[in-house]
Amino acid sequence: MEQSEIILRAIGVLTETQEMVRRLNEDTEVDIDAGEAQLGRLVTEVFPTVEVPGDATPAEAGQAVVDALMPAAISLVGAFAFLFSELADVHDTERSDIKSTDLLRTLALRLSNTDTNAGPDTDPGGDA
């Protein structure tokens, strides 16, 4: 899965979570399992299946798992860290002209429209 797709999926998780929290604060009935399911699907899709040879030593098995899962963990954490940084920047600059949902939507649109060579290092909080 490409990093931009992971970021887009992380935006979906954050948006879903934000909506769930809003509804909980309004005492509206919320299906918490739906949010957990979305996060679970993202994790399942990002992390590969790891096959460890039956004759591997415990150290070899552990290393095989780390080698297989580390790139996915870095990508997933990186996606959420990028989004946190973007949201924190808007918060820290005390911008009141853009809400978190609007920023996430703008980021999603920009990532969806970028070609595969472009990264997520644009200024989504800037004037569009």
- pLDDT tens for each residue of 39-55: 888 889 999 999 999 99
Kindly report, residue by residue over 55-74, the tens digit of the pLDDT.
999 999 999 999 999 999 99
Distance of CA 108 to the CA centre of its chain: 11
Alpha helices in the chain (DSSP H): 3-25, 32-46, 58-92, 100-113
Question: What are the domain boundaries of the chain?
Answer: 3-113
The DSSP letter of residue 49 is P
Instruction: Give Rg (Cα) of the chain.
Output: 18
- Cα angle at 119 between 118 and 123, to 5 degrees? 105
Give the residue among 71, 62, 65 at the shortest CA–CA distance from 50. 65
Exposed (0-12), middle (13-18) or buried (19+): which is 28, by Cβ within 10 Å? exposed
pLDDT in the model for residue 125: 47
Kindly report, residue by residue over 8-49, the tens digit of the pLDDT.
999 999 988 888 888 888 877 766 676 567 788 888 999 999
Q: pTM to 2 decimals?
A: 0.74
Contact 15, 109 (CB under 8 A): no
Query: Residue 108 — pLDDT band, cuts 50, 70, 90?
Result: very high
